Amino acid sequence: MTSKSAAAAARATVYGYPRQGRDRELKKAVEGYWKGAVTAGALRRTAAGLRAATWRDLAAAGLHEVPTGDFSYYDHVLDTSVMVGAVPARHRAAFAADPLDGYFAMARGTQDVAPLEMTKWFDTNYHYLVPELGPDTAFTADPAKQLGELQEALALGLAARPVLVGPVTYLLLAKPAPGAPAGFDPLTLLDRLLPVYAEVLAALRAAGAEWVQLDEPALVQDRTPAELNAAARAYRDLGALTNRPKLLVASYFDRLGQALPVLAKAPVDGLALDFTGPAAANLDDLAAAGGLPGKRLVAGVVDGRNVWINDLTASLATLATLLGLAGRVDVAASSSLLHVPLDATAERDIDPQIARWLAFARQKTTEIVTLARGLTHGTAAITAELAANRADLASRAGSALTHDPAVRARTAAVTGDDARRSLPYAGRTAAQRARLGLPPLPTTTIGSFPQTTELRTARADLRAGRIGTDAYERRIEAEIREVVAFQEKTGLDVLVHGEPERNDMVQYFAERLTGYLATRHGWVQSYGTRYVRPPVLAGDVSRPEPMTVRWTAYAQSLTARPVKGMLTGPVTMLAWSFVRDDQPRAETARQVALALRDEVADLEAAGTAVIQVDEPALRETLPLRAAARPGYLDWATEAFRLTTGGVRPDTQIHTHMCYAEFGDILRAIDDLDADVISLEAARSHMQVAGELAGAGYPREVGPGVYDIHSPRVPGADEAAALLRRGLAAIPAERLWVNPDCGLKTRGWPEVRASLEHLVTAARTVREELPGSSS
């Protein structure tokens, strides 16, 4: 290893940290504020307390520099829109009257005003609020949040580095505002936006910031020469400012590629690069670009998105190589730790021999500090840590959990015929329509109904032993009866059982499949106050017994209308879990698909005529670089077809996707060979219907007409207007009517009203169809 003097400057830091608190205090405070039970002052005090506790913990763990500005009440991209004054016209009055309420209105909407569109943050399961920009957008600096949080950290005596979404990424993530000219590109606003960033940077410097981090993850995607030129211009201008702090430009999630030499040559003071997974190529690319002589390099060598322990020896080797490529090398995670749970030591139910393989945010922070110490003082300073790490890695590699001979033999025996329906779509439709007998524009929901306090209490009582299994199952049956009765009364055509027995669409199945581990406290933010507990996919996967058949069959016994069987697809089971990293994902997906195939077969044998296999994560898991996408889509679509390929022609297979940009995967959607696909479309005003029509998609489609991520209740006229837009692209014989997504996060009053309006809209538009009997 290099000399101690060469590594003397190594510091430990992170780009961001989980926001919610140990007991999800932020979620409870924000939702309390929405309900009127928590005042704005109390909400702000809770938030300030959580920030201070996080910073103190990070400093106590040994970090030399803590991030500020990464905390958010809802979303950091929305915070950026506020910082630059990009408040949509429809929200300005509310924002001016009360900035906090106006902020939440942009996120969630109100009964009268629609929220900003929401979509996935790159290839993660985090959702951000999409900025709306037009040629008339006038940016103004409002750095109050960023300044306030910096001052809080400095007051604690900590070295603090504000973290901002960079200007190029902000514009590349934006969409044209309603009414913007066709073809308008938000990136054309760069010269208008840069002076606002300059003003914010100057204010942060005046408040005591030595460094400011500008995150540019959009530059790890394939970018045009014009976009790369925009990045060069942005950092030429910001770097040339005289009244600014030192600038650290950060990227993560993949290699920078052609953008790396652009940023390396820019007059900024440092770069923060990801060196994990496919981004490990940044090392060779950085060397080819001539390195960063005289500049700071923050090396992301600890995986910020998965929960497996770091290979400390391998990371030290990477860091040692990087020492020769920069003026100073510091150590960090590959991305914000927002994407992992808080603390693995809280998981008392996981076998200690398996728990030793896991590293959540706190453990990753310790790994970063250990690596920085080893880089600074040599491996002799961390001998004990390296030995323990090697033992933990060996324990995982040799575990029986990771190698099940029966599972591996079954996956090896899969043939192409297993992933193929017995008839093509055109040969199946008549049989399905004859079996189902549905009207034009059939109505349905996506699967879940509200998860009430009573349901959550029943699950908690069962876990705590306060009620037995029989009493719990009677409670679930009562809920299913209520859900089925409501759907019949409302007039929905294809029903669901409502999923009252499910805590989460992935965790429920993970708890019933071998190879998965469930956590008690592994909460990760998905959007706003929506937190999920991704299971840990640690070993080979199989299905010991049926998982959903009992509840689906019970619901079907209550009605003559078809009840959908509801499953989560193999790609989403991977994407919304922390997936093992010791074998190709394609192999893991095939194992999960075969387990789900058994469930599909049992549902069909029980008489289920419609089976929905949800794949909302198909788009979000798409590799950020185009070159890697064909290989991913090949195994992802094969896994779906392997799940569903064994059913009869008259069994109708549905799938569902939501809150993503679907234009990139239209061919893959076709390759799934599902009979019906339902998609989010309400916030994007049926954009996806036109995209599917333009691509010649031949199957049935249900573009959503009810935005379930907003508390507002859409009127029947509003839903009918969206439905008519859908009909302009998709013929009536192939168009379904449904919400955007499942209803578990909504309350019963708004669900009842919204679904009644949805059915009314369908009936109204149905009567307008040519040949209608009205």
Catalytic residues: 709
Helix and strand element counts for the chain (H, E): 28, 21
Find all residues with CB under 8 Å of 109, minimum gap 6, and list them: 115, 707, 710, 711, 712
**697: Cα separation from own chain's centroid:** 26
CA distance 270 to 293: 10
| Burial class of residue 432, CB neighbours in 10 A (0-12, 13-18, 19+) | buried
Listed residue (293, 300, 289, 296) closest to 324, CA to CA: 293
Instruction: List strand residue ranges (DSSP E) for 434-537, in order.
Output: 516-517, 524-527, 530-532, 536-537
Calculate Rg over the CA atoms of the chain: 26
Query: Is 445 strand, coil or helix?
Result: coil
CA distance 726 to 713: 20
Q: What are phi and psi of 537, to 5 degrees?
A: -90, 100
Listed residue (757, 406, 764, 732) closest to 594, CA to CA: 406
Identity of the amino acid at 676: V
Encoded tokens for 462: 């069962």
The DSSP code for 620 is: T
Which residues on adjacent β-strands are paired with residue 524? 532
**Alpha carbon distance, N-terminus to C-terminus of the chain:** 83
- Taking a C-beta distance cutoff of 8 angstroms, is the pair 376, 4 a contact? yes
CA distance 337 to 283: 22
The DSSP code for 84 is: T
Query: Is 524 strand, coil or helix?
Result: strand
Query: Is 654 strand, coil or helix?
Result: strand
- Taking a C-beta distance cutoff of 8 angstroms, is the pair 404, 542 a contact? yes
CA distance 742 to 709: 9
| Burial class of residue 227, CB neighbours in 10 A (0-12, 13-18, 19+) | buried
For 305, other C-beta atoms within 10 Å of its C-beta total 21
- Taking a C-beta distance cutoff of 8 angstroms, is the pair 605, 559 a contact? no
**38: Cα separation from own chain's centroid:** 28
Query: Is 83 strand, coil or helix?
Result: helix
- Taking a C-beta distance cutoff of 8 angstroms, is the pair 189, 173 a contact? no
Encoded tokens for 173: 């993530």
